[in-house]
């Protein structure tokens, strides 16, 4: 096994650990904080970040992992969240050609659109189908606070994720240069 493959495996394992940590914080810690009106969607942030930074394939892979975690722990049709997260990872992977490490504006814009699309997906298939037609109420009380919290959290989480990815890449490059 060569060094480049070893670095890819470490990157994958780090990303899986980040997804598990984000899932745990999002579903076990945030609900216990009484001052939060809404909770940021950490899995959504990581999924679109993986897609945006690493491309469509990686976005879809991590979308499957994030979606399966949610599908396993929440009731409803199996695959509901997985489908949404796969699409989010894939669509954000399309924007990887516009990826620049220090460019935060596009990830914030993507965060807004991803959260809006995800919230509309949940609204249509969880509420609208059951006859709950009050979209302005849902938007004002559920979607908007979650969008705001997710975008603010994206500022921090995206930078941390980018820093960790950069360090792993640098470690791999250093090992490549010491062997040559």
Torsional class of 33: left (φ above 0), alpha (ψ -120 to 50), beta (otherwise) = beta
pLDDT greater than 90 at residue 119 = yes
CATH number of the domain that 112 lies in? Answer: 1.10.1760
Residue 165 in any domain: the answer is: yes
- Residue 155 included in any domain: yes
Q: Which two tokens stand for residue 32?
A: 């216990």
pLDDT of 77 above 60:
yes
pLDDT of residue 167: 80
Count of domains forming the chain: 1
| Whether the predicted model's global pTM rises above the 0.85 cut | yes
Does residue 67 fall inside a structural domain?
A: yes
Decide: helix, strand or coil at residue 48.
Answer: helix
Q: What is the DSSP letter of 1?
A: -
d(CA 152, CA 176): 37
Concatenating the DSSP letter of every residue in 75-91 gives -SSTTHHHHHHHHHHHH
Residue at 115 is within a domain: yes
pLDDT of residue 176: 59
Domain that holds residue 64: 3-26+34-171
Residue 96 in any domain: the answer is yes
CB 7 within 8 A of CB 171: yes
Structural contact between residues 93 and 57, judged by C-beta atoms closer than 8 angstroms: yes
Give CA–CA dist 161/77, Å, rounded: 31
| pLDDT class of 3 with cuts at 50, 70, 90 | low
Has residue 65 been placed in a domain? Answer: yes
Percent of the chain with pLDDT over 90: 50
Specify which of 78-82, 97-101, 126-130, 133-137 reaches the highest per-range mean pLDDT.
78-82
What is the predicted pLDDT for the residue at 117?
96
Query: Which of 1-10, 49-58, 72-81, 93-102 has the least mean pLDDT?
Result: 1-10
Listing DSSP states for 95-164 in one string gives: GGGG--TT--HHHHHHHHHHHHHHHHHHIIIIIGGGT---HHHHIIIIIHHHHHHHHHHHHHHHHHHHHH
Q: How far apart are CA 152 and CA 111, in angstroms?
A: 9
Helix (H) or strand (E) holding 17: helix 3-24
In a domain? residue 84: yes
Weakest mean pLDDT among 38-47, 150-159, 171-180: 171-180
pLDDT attached to residue 172 = 67
2 pLDDT more than 70: no
pLDDT at 123: 92
| pLDDT given at position 169 | 73
Is residue 58 a part of any domain in this protein? yes
């Amino acid at each position: 096994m060569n060094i480049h493959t070893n670095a890819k495996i470490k990157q994958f394992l780090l990303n899986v650990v980040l997804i598990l940590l984000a899932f745990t914080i999002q579903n076990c810690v945030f609900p216990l904080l009484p001052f939060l009106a809404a909770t940021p969607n950490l899995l959504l942030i990581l999924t679109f970040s993986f897609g945006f930074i690493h491309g469509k394939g990686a976005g879809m892979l991590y979308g499957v992992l994030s979606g399966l975690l949610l599908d396993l722990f929440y009731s409803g049709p199996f695959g509901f969240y997985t489908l949404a997260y796969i699409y989010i990872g894939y669509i954000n992977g399309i924007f990887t050609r516009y990826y620049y490490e220090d460019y935060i504006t596009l990830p914030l814009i993507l965060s807004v659109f991803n959260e809006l699309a995800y919230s509309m997906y949940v609204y249509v298939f969880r509420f609208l189908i059951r006859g709950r037609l009050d979209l302005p109420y849902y938007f004002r009380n559920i979607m908007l606070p979650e969008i705001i919290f997710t975008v603010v959290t994206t500022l921090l989480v995206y930078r941390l994720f980018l820093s960790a990815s950069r360090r792993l890449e640098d470690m791999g490059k250093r090992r490549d240069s010491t062997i040559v």
